[in-house]
């Protein structure tokens, strides 16, 4: 019996020390300015540090190890009201060509009347068959602009590179990203169209569409705009590097999501030119692994719009037959579509990104209707758009501040420093005040640094952890004392000639 107690105490002591040693180190935060509030955008690696995609166990601490007040800029809650979206046709006006040999001519072709209508500055004789730039009036769209859908004139095919610009007064224009292609092509008795351009959730009154090649007409017949009535700004998206598959079968390839992060968009990168095939994308949940199911409500309005117009053509939960004895993981259909990479004299055309709901999966599975080789001699790679979460914290206590993880097993410690509502943290909060806050930066250690830190001697503990470490050492010492007592008892039994009991 004594031996059993000794072994149990030793195991518990060593387990406690191992758990303490394996706790992830804090991420230091660099701040500038007097504050008192700072805004911090977390990297993708934050999802790997947290035990859930909601990041609800992350805390902000000061130099003394005390949890300080913070709030998420955009709520992670699944019951938050979903933004309302709407699609509306907008007025379209042909613009005269710019001066020969000159770049964009910023002189307004229209002025805004007192009643809100547009009036040409001068009479314009515009041949719509030779128009190279168009003005889109988006004032009727409430909220932010998500994407623009273009309709080309009948029987017009080809690749038309356009540049998008935005303005509120028709005089000062800002560029919206780089050139984008409008595509309508005929391929093996099939029409391929890519006539949607992402506007990134901007707020503007007018959009100008220019042909990159000023010598080539832009045959646009109609434009509709998707808008979202949402007071919150869209989350910052970060695209991952191209991810190779972890394994491939006859008709599928599996991909591991970095840090189990939620995904808003996926771009399928085909390795071989002149490749075209329909695909289905699934989220995979292993039966032996706890896997969070997709959010019931999506905060990606583009996904909501896409599924409204093009419902998934298969059940939400889908299974596929396998050989007898094989354990099939659960598959949930996330998206389906046509992916392609085609080379034309005008340039290369690739399929648009697939929109996802923003749910978190550890494994994504890409399936084809035929063999996976229909996507090329090499399996495709995936690039993922992950929404980055932003928080605002109060500069309380001494620097440096740090991002840490709360212990879920300790209810009292887990509740300390839990996130609060943004208006509670900032009593005079308005959405405009976020742009005036000091920006903070978190230092994320590299994989090599984490490995070196794991093998290096432990640094001196901070003051709040002293008592915890003392108790751990006391537990270890108690286990050693009990082991020594057991050994002494055995030796005494041998000397007296008695049989040891145990």
Q: Identify the CATH number of the domain in which residue 194 sits.
A: 2.60.120
CA distance 110 to 108: 5
99 & 159 share domain: yes
263 & 314 share domain: yes
Of 44, 501, 499, 443, which is closest to residue 261 (Cα–Cα)? 44
pLDDT at 16: 47
273 & 208 share domain: no
Whether 411 is covered by a domain: the verdict is no
257 & 183 share domain: no
The whole domain housing 366 covers 240-388
pLDDT digits (tens, 9 = 90+) for 453-483: 434 454 444 444 444 555 666 777 777 777 7
Number of neighbours of residue 500 by Cβ within 10 angstroms: 12
pLDDT digits (tens, 9 = 90+) for 4-23: 544 444 444 444 444 444 55
Number of domains within the chain? 3
Write out the two tokens for 30. Answer: 């660099």
375 & 259 share domain: yes
Write out the two tokens for 262. Answer: 């939620």
199 & 247 share domain: no
Whether 28 is covered by a domain: the verdict is no
Give φ, ψ of 81 to 5 degrees.
-60, 130
The whole-number mean pLDDT for each consecutive block of 10 residues of the chain, a chain of 502 residues, reads 48 46 76 90 90 89 93 64 79 78 58 80 72 92 89 89 92 89 80 87 92 90 88 79 94 91 93 91 72 50 64 46 45 89 81 88 92 93 94 93 90 90 91 88 62 43 47 70 74 62 46
pLDDT at 12: 47
Helices (H), 430-465: 447-455
For the whole model, what pTM was predicted? 0.69
Write out the two tokens for 282. Answer: 């699934």
Of 340, 385, 380, which is closest to residue 183 (Cα–Cα)? 340
Strand locations in 230-321, DSSP E?
A: 236-239, 247-248, 252-256, 265-269, 275-285, 317-318
H or E element that contains 13:
helix 2-21
Whether 435 is covered by a domain: the verdict is no
CA distance 25 to 419: 20
CA distance 353 to 263: 12
215 & 291 share domain: no
3-class SS of residue 479 = helix
Strand locations in 329-380, DSSP E?
A: 330-344, 347-350, 354-355, 363-368
Of 437, 327, 324, which is closest to residue 391 (Cα–Cα)? 437
């Amino acid at each position: 019996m004594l031996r059993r107690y000794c072994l149990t105490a030793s195991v518990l002591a060593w387990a406690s020390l191992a758990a303490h040693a394996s706790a992830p180190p804090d991420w230091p935060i660099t701040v500038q300015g007097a504050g008192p509030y700072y805004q911090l955008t977390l990297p993708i690696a934050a999802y790997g540090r947290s035990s859930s995609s909601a990041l609800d166990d992350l805390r902000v601490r000061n130099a003394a190890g005390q949890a300080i007040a913070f709030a998420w800029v955009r709520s992670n809650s699944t019951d938050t009201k979903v933004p309302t979206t709407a699609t509306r046709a907008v007025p379209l006006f042909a613009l005269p060509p710019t001066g020969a040999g000159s770049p964009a001519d910023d002189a307004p072709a229209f002025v805004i009347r007192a009643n809100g209508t547009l009036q040409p500055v001068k009479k314009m004789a515009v041949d719509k068959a030779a128009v190279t730039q168009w003005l889109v009036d988006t004032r009727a769209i409430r909220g932010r602009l998500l994407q623009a859908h273009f309709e080309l004139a009948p029987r017009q095919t080809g690749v038309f590179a356009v540049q998008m610009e935005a303005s509120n007064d028709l005089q000062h224009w800002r560029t919206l990203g780089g050139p984008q292609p409008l595509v309508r092509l005929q391929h093996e008795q099939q029409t391929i169209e890519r006539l949607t351009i992402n506007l990134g959730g901007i707020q503007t009154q007018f959009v100008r569409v220019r042909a990159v090649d000023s010598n080539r007409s832009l045959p646009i017949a109609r434009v509709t705009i998707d808008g979202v009535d949402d007071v919150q700004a869209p989350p910052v998206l970060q695209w991952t590097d191209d991810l190779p598959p972890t394994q491939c079968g006859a008709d599928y390839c599996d991909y591991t999501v970095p840090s189990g992060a939620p995904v808003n968009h996926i771009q399928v990168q085909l390795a071989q030119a002149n490749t075209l095939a329909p695909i289905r994308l699934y989220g995979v949940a292993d039966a032996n692994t706890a896997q969070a199911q997709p959010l019931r409500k999506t905060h990606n309005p583009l996904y909501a719009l896409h599924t409204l117009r093009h419902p998934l053509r298969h059940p939400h939960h889908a299974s596929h037959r396998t050989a007898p004895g094989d354990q099939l993981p659960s598959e949930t259909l996330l998206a389906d579509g046509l992916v392609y990479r085609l080379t034309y004299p005008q340039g290369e055309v690739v399929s648009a990104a697939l929109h996802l709901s923003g749910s978190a999966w550890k494994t994504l599975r890409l399936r084809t209707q035929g063999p996976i080789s229909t996507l090329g001699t090499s399996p495709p790679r995936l690039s993922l758009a992950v929404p980055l979460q932003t928080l605002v914290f109060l500069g309380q206590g001494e620097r440096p501040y740090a991002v840490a993880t709360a212990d879920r097993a300790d209810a009292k410690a887990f509740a300390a420093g839990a996130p609060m509502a943004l208006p509670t943290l900032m009593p005079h909060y308005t959405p405009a005040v976020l742009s005036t806050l000091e920006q903070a930066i978190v230092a994320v250690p590299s994989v090599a640094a984490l490995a070196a830190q794991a093998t290096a001697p432990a640094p001196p503990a901070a003051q709040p952890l002293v008592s915890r470490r003392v108790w751990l050492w006391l537990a270890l010492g108690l286990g050693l004392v009990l082991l020594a007592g057991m050994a002494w008892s055995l030796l005494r039994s041998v000397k007296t000639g008695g049989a040891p009991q145990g």
